[in-house]
Structure 1
Amino acid sequence: MPKDYTFEDLKPGILLLAEPFLDEPVFHRTVILLCEHSSSHSFGLVLNHPQDAILDSIREEKVMEEIPLYTGGPVDQTILQFIHRRPDLITGGQEISPGLFWAGDFEQAIEAIINQQIEFKDIKFFVGYSGWSAGQLEREVKSDSWMLEPATLDYVFDETPESLWRKVLYQKGGNYRILSTYPDDPTLN
């Protein structure tokens, strides 16, 4: 594991940033919000892969405006989840980082959107998720596949998906700042 990470750093509320040379197209330059981490499994949602689809396209009830969807990861594209920063409007969520909640009462979330009480800058919906079996994520971090950074509300909700990976690395400073400028395809230099 990189010397600036420990196994205790893997916990809900941590961002996993794919290293720039990760040879896995599905995770190319992804930023994953870790929502659960235990000795039996790990689970997270990709923050920077918006879909062309909208929530109405996967729900039978068509009463909402165009709610954007994100691909949470390659596992089980039938599962719909959400994160938010509005516990005053959506009860039952699990706080995974200060002010950042995973899940909660889905119907309350939809009602708050319909009633224009909540904006899309405060909530994100995901289909699918990213998952790891026991010890798998630790091994991947140890092999330098992922870099870690605590999630902030700005990173999760305010940064554009296209710039999120670079922005987080740049703000980490030092050698990470250099990595943030590395081209997508170095052969084109």
Structure 2
Amino acid sequence: MLVAIGEFISNKLTNFFYMPKKNAPLELKAGILLVSEPFLDDPSFHRSVILLCEHSSSHSFGLVLNQRQEIVLDSYMDEKMMEEVPIYLGGPVDPTIMQFVHRRPDLIPEGLELGEGIFWSGDFERAIELVVAGELGFDEIKFFIGYSGWGAGQLEREVKSNAWMLHPAKADYVFDEPSTQLWRKVLFDKGGDYRVLSTYPDDPNLN
């Protein structure tokens, strides 16, 4: 039987029933999702799902998939006639940088494949042209400002401390799942005790 949520928090995620330790077989690499634990203190990553784009011994880099912003892309692309283009906050680092992921390598060259049906970056001008022309839908491309970054060994330490759970990325998660449901969806799909985590309310006092 699960112990009280207050005890989970006070134990700093060490209780097995609170943070199931089933992600060991997965390794940190490009194309992995980082799923935040339910009550991560950092407001920049509250219930976030991050697509890891790069991981090496010197640094790690990813994009938060489920923090859609109120602003739209035409605010950043004054020379283009673009309206109502959704944009996401990829993380707290350098919000002046814009990036994108897509699922159409046949239309956008030079992208880096992160997993089946998921490509990071590529010919930005071509991507914008396709969006403006209506030839690329928003279930095929996602724009981000800012990014999430870690220094050498930092992400490994955070994973070891159970701040993040790992799950393979799928194109459906990136492009099709509503951002407000993504965190719960990924945990539910992991199955087992993770499904219990997916039901936790934002406020632990409500449990």
Same fold (TM over 0.5): yes
Q: Which blocks of at least 5 consecutive residues in structure 1 are unaligned?
A: none
The equivalent residue for 1:17 is 35
The equivalent residue for 2:5 is none
The equivalent residue for 1:181 is 199
Aligned 8 A contact 2:60 2:150 in 1? yes
* Structure 1 residue 62: Cα displacement: 3.2
24, 31, 34: which is aligned to 1:5?
24
SS across alignment from 1:161: coil
164, 170, 177: which is aligned to 1:152?
170
- Cα deviation, 1:116-161, whole Å, max 9, x if unaligned, reads 1110000000000000000000000000000000000111110000
Distance 2:74 2:23 in 1: 43
* Structure 1 residue 21: Cα displacement: 2.0
Distance 1:82 1:62 in 2: 17
Change (3 A) 1:69 1:101: same
Q: Which blocks of at least 5 consecutive residues in structure 2 are unaligned?
A: 1-20
The equivalent residue for 1:35 is 53
* Structure 1 residue 11: Cα displacement: 0.4
* Structure 1 residue 65: Cα displacement: 2.9
TM-score by length of 1: 0.96
1:143 maps to amino acid: S
Q: Is 1:117 the equivalent of 2:135?
A: yes
Q: How many residues align?
A: 188
Distance 2:33 2:62 in 1: 9
Distance 1:103 1:4 in 2: 28
TM-score by length of 2: 0.88
Distance 2:63 2:121 in 1: 12
Please say which structure displays the higher CA radius of gyration: 2
63, 67, 83: which is aligned to 1:45?
63
SS across alignment from 1:121: coil
Aligned 8 A contact 2:23 2:166 in 1? no
Q: Is 1:83 the equivalent of 2:101?
A: yes
Distance 2:98 2:148 in 1: 13
| Paired-residue identity, % | 67
Which residues in structure 2 correspond to 1:53-132 (within 5 Å)?
53-132=71-150
Distance 2:114 2:56 in 1: 14
| Mean CA deviation greater in 54-63 or 82-91 | 54-63
Distance 1:51 1:23 in 2: 21
Root-mean-square deviation (CA, aligned residues, Å) is: 1.4
Find runs of 4+ consecutive structure 1 residues off by over 6 angstroms. Answer: none
